[in-house]
Structure 1
Amino acid sequence: MEKEGITQALKSWPVSFRVFCIGKEMSGIFRSIVSLGFEGVSIQSTSMFPNPAPTDEDKMVILLSDGDSQQLESIAKSFYQAGVLTLIVSTTTIDKLNGICDAMTVSHIESMPFIVKSLLEPIIKQGKINYDFNDLYNTLHNTEKFKIESAISRNNENRIAELVDNLTDLRGNFILSGSEYISLVFYLNKDANPPLAISEFQPLLEYIGGFPENVSVLWALNYDDNLRPNEIRLDTIASGKNLKV
């Protein structure tokens, strides 16, 4: 596993997006993160690279940790103060976020590969309705907290409507007293059957229209050929200082 980590790190250097696994409990998911197979992403363990530093090429760093630690805060602070979008995914809440990172979320270790995939996939893969790094940056920059959820529809007639219905609890996760941000990224197989019609997105537009003006909503459409032709997946990235994580 250590040799694989070194190979992955060297193969993709220099890069714009970096992922670090921090803590003794993180060794079990390191291989899972590497197996996501994203080109141009450096994936490293701090057991091998204990003092990573930001470079001029860095745009985003994702720090996966088995809890709060001095090492986590030191690494996060160095990237954040260098202007790199700095995201922490930890098994415990990090209370002192000011000057440390842009945003953090709490997750079980086994769910961290899914979070990494949801953050990287839309900005690395070319979509039908595109979502790029600037969109992700605007969604997460200096928002303190973020949360990612996913749902799949196999309903041939009302696929988008069914996924939007799954979002009904999302508004309950916000205390709408400040600026909040939501990105909705839909994924389908390129050979989707039946083909997706633009008219199917009307429930989504109505849903977005129901948010207050201080909630910024972006949406995109991308491809994932790991999905079956009758499946559509929706990944929701929500952020904001008042978000419940």
Structure 2
Amino acid sequence: MKPVLTVIKRNFASNLIALIITILVVLLSTTSSDASISISRGNYTYLYMLMMPFFIVYFNFSKLIHLNATKKDYFWGSILTYIIAAASISMVNTFIHLVIDPMNQTQIVINLLELCGWWENGVFVAFFQQFAFLLMVAVFLHVLLSMQSYWYGWLTNAVLVAIICVFVPIQPLRQILVSFFKLIMFNGNALLHISVCLSISMVLALVGLAVLKRRSI
């Protein structure tokens, strides 16, 4: 357990820059006072989850292995890092939407909690829906970045680009893409949404473990 805790500490320490950037963006983000709609500062907290995998995959892996951490330690340490970070960011954005967003009485404040339909299920459930979504996104990015040194990583990139290029212009296929995003993001059905996001996260984690076993230092 101790090596895993070491990996977690190292992951968070290496993401200090990501944390600082996120805090600055949250604090400095502004919306014109003339606009009728304002973007909630809480939305910008998601930047941290988007940046974390880059530091963990590209900067921490080789350093941790050289510090005698095993691939198993790295895997579980990374997963637990994303779980802690997703819960923390979900808590912060929930607090912002609950306490800070209502202070703006002159504009309609847009927060993803409302936009995605999670807030309709109450604060507690919305927190878990947001957590599940953020965890899924972080694990997806981690696995995708881990693949980039291999042919199947390039193939995955090509498939993702092809899906966007082919599905978006063709209406029936675009509907399939829209339905998918409604399932994983714009989903007010809490049980379904959390189940889908956590299931995808587990599948991605297994794929990531398979990639990690083949990865060299």
TM-score (norm 2): 0.29
TM-score (norm 1): 0.26
Higher helix share: 2
Higher strand share: 1
